[in-house]
Amino acid sequence: MRHIAKTFARGIHPPEHKEGTRSLAIRRLPFAPELIVPLLQHTGAPAAPCVNDGQEVVRGEPIAKAGGFVSVPMHAPVTGVVTAIERRLSAKGDMVRSIVIRTYMGADQEVLYSAPQDIDTMPVHELIRAVQDTGVVGLGGAAFPTHVKLAVPEGKRIDTVIVNGCECEPYLTTDHRVMLEYADDIHVGIQIVQKAVGAERTVIATEDNKLDAAEALWTSPRIAPTTSIAVLKTHYPQGAEKMITKVVLDREVPSGGLPAEVGVAVFNVATLAQLGELLPKRQGLIERVVTITGPGVAHPGNYMVALGTPLSFALKHAGLRADATEVIFGGPMMGPAVADPDVPITKGITGILVLTEAETSKQPTKVYPCIKCGRCVEACPIHLNPSRLGLLAKSGLYETMETDFHLSDCFECGCCTYVCPAHIPLVQQFRVAKQLNRQRKAAQS
C-alpha cells in the first residue's frame, strides 16, 4: 500500500455528508410484492425476453437474453410469476419494455440457478462471454457492459488495471462499504479482469477519507502480488476515468479517447465485487448495494436491494419523512431528480438521496448574467471553458460548442455549476446541447 499526497489540478471539494451511512453495515431490504425489470438498464441494445406472461420464475433464472454484443441478459431478482411484459416508466423518464414479476412472498428466495465453473482454466474469449452471461455492467453509475470493456480494441495493449474506489460524490458510501465487507470478492474480480485484458498489474485507488477500506483490501488473504493500493487525497471528481488515470499513473487520456489509449482499463470496485462473487458460481446479477440517505429519510443506510424494486417501496422501508421534497438518484453533483416514485431501481443506481424543504429552499432560484469571473474555468477538471460554452448555449450555437470547444469531453461532473456565483445552470445547458447534437447527427445519417 502506498499513499499519494497529490491529486489532480482543479476540481472542488464539496461537503462530504458521508457520516450518516459510512459506518453502517450493509443490510438487506425486504422483497417488494411486485418488481419491474426494465429490459434496458445499460448502455447498448435492450435485452430480449425469454419468458412469457404467466410463467413462474425462480430467483436467478435468466428471463431475457442479450440483444447483441453491447448488451447483457437479465435475471429474475425474485421467485414469483411474470404478470406482464409491457412498457413501464424508467428512472430516466422514458418508457422501457419491462418484465413485471409478482413475488411469491412465502418463498425462501434462495438463488437456485448456479453451476460452478473454473475461471482459472477458461480461455479469454470464453471468460469474456461468461462475464456477459452474468449481466454485470458498470455499477459505479455508467452501466456500461463490463464484458465489452474487457474486449481490448485491436492494436491496443492494456498494461494496468485501475480499480476505482474513490467514490467522491457527496453522501454516497456504497463503494466504501463494499470495500470493507466484500474485499475478497473484489480481489477475485481483479484476477478475472486482469486475465481478460492481459494486464501485468492492478492498482486499487481510494481516497484518504476511506483508510479503513484501504486497510481491508490490503489485508485480504486474496490479494495478489501484482496488486497495489494507492490512497489519494480526497477530491472531486477524482472518480472520473480521466482524472484517476492521471493521478495514479500520470497518463493523460487524449481528448475524445478512452483509457485504453494509454494502456489502462478502469473498473469500479462494486462491479468487481459482483463479478468476483457471481462468475465462479455462474450466477446472474440480481441485486446491488444502494446508499439511501439524506435528511428526508429516518433510517439511512446501505441496503442490498433486489433489482426492479420500486423506489417508493425502498423509501418506505428507509423511513421517508413527511417533509421530503426531492429525491435524487445518485449523488447531488451528477444525480438526476426523480419525477415518479414508482420507477424501479436498476443496475446503474448507486444511491438515493432524499432532501427536505429545508435543503431545497436554500437552492438559488434566480439566475444572473455571466460576469466572466473565471471560477468555472478554474474548477473544470478537464480544462474546458464552461463560461464560453454557456454563452454559446444561450445563443443556440450547439454545433460550435462541440466542434470548436470540445463539448463532448465534458463528463457533466457539475463543478462549473457548483462554483458559479451567477447560479447559471451550466451543466444542464451542456446536457441539452449534447442531446440536440445527437438528434441532429441522427437526422443527418
Q: Measured between alpha carbons, how far is 392 from 370 in angstroms, rounded to an integer? A: 12
The two beta strands, 351-356 and 201-207, are unpaired
pLDDT tens column, 84-99:
999 999 988 899 999 9
Q: What average pLDDT does this structure show over 374-396?
A: 95
Report which DSSP code applies to 44. S
Which residues face 230 on adjacent strands? 2, 205
Cell numbers for 25, please give them. 453495515
197: helix, strand or coil:
helix
Point out which residues pair with 290 in neighbouring strands: 303
Contacts of 362 (CB under 8 A, 6+ apart): none
Q: What is the pTM of this model?
A: 0.95
3-class secondary-structure state, position 29: coil
> 101-117: b or e for each residue (b if 16 or more CB lie within 10 Å)?
bebbeeeebebebeeee
Record the cell numbers describing residue 297, joined without a space: 429519510
Confidence band for 2, pLDDT divided at 50, 70 and 90: low
The total of other beta-carbon atoms located within 10 Å of residue 411's CB is: 17
Which residue is listed with cell 438518484? 329
pLDDT of residue 328: 96
pLDDT higher than 70, residue 422: yes
Q: Which helix (H) or strand (E) holds 386?
A: helix 386-394
Residues in the chain: 445
Q: Coil, strand or helix: which one is 235?
A: coil
Mean pLDDT, to the nearest integer, of 283-297?
98
DSSP designation for 200? S
pLDDT in tens, 109-161: 999 888 999 999 999 999 999 999 999 999 998 899 999 999 998 899 999 99
| Confidence (pLDDT) at 156 | 93
Half-sphere exposure of 404 (CA within 13 A, CB side): 9
Helix (H) or strand (E) run with residue 320 in it: none
Residue with cell 482454466: 121
Per-residue pLDDT band at 365 (split at 50, 70, 90): confident
Cis peptide before 364 (omega within 30 of 0): no
Residue type, 129: R
Q: What is the pLDDT of residue 5?
A: 64
- Cα distance between residue 357 and residue 360, in whole Å: 5
Task: Return the pLDDT at 359.
Answer: 85
Between β-strands 301-306 and 287-293, what pairing exists: parallel, antiparallel or unpaired?
antiparallel
The 10s digit of each residue's pLDDT in 223-247 is: 999 999 999 999 999 999 999 999 9
Grid cell digits, residue 271: 462491479
Identity of the amino acid at 334: M
3-state secondary structure of 49: strand
- Contact 183/226 with Cβ under 8 angstroms? no
CB distance 18 to 171 below 8 Å: yes
* Joined grid coordinates for residue 179: 470495500
CA 184 vs CA 161, 188, 272, 277, 279: distances in Å: 17, 6, 10, 9, 14
As a whole number of angstroms, the distance between CA 133 and CA 135 comes to 5
Residues 329 and 323: their CA atoms lie apart, in Å, by 18
Q: What is the pLDDT of residue 23?
A: 97
**Which H helix or E strand runs over 162?**
strand 160-165
Q: Is the per-residue pLDDT at 424 higher than 70?
A: yes
Nearest to 62 by CA among 48, 50, 47, 78: 50
Average pLDDT value for the chain: 95
Residues facing residue 137 across a β-bridge: 145
